[in-house]
Amino acid sequence: MSIEAGKNPRDIILKPVVTEKSSILMDQGKFTFEVDPRANKTEIKIAIEAIFGVKVGS
């Protein structure tokens, strides 16, 4: 499955969430982002992998 044709991964991942709780998660190698509410989990996973060049675990 792929991102909808013509949709940029940066249109799905809007911005990082920076809070005290997300800072604790960052220390564990977990990151939080604000995403387009219309995006599904698969699209979000593909967008994260495309933008950051990482493999999403779960």
Contact status, residue 34 vs residue 17, Cβ threshold 8 Å: yes
Specify the pLDDT at position 1. Answer: 57
Specify the pLDDT at position 5. Answer: 63
Q: What are the extents of the domains in the chain?
A: 9-52
Which pLDDT tens digit goes with each residue over 1-58? 566 666 899 999 999 999 999 999 999 999 999 999 999 999 999 999 999 999 998 7
- Partnered with residue 35 across adjacent β-strands are 13
DSSP H helical segments within 1-58, as ranges?
9-12, 20-27, 41-52
Q: What is the CATH number of domain 9-52?
A: 3.30.70.330
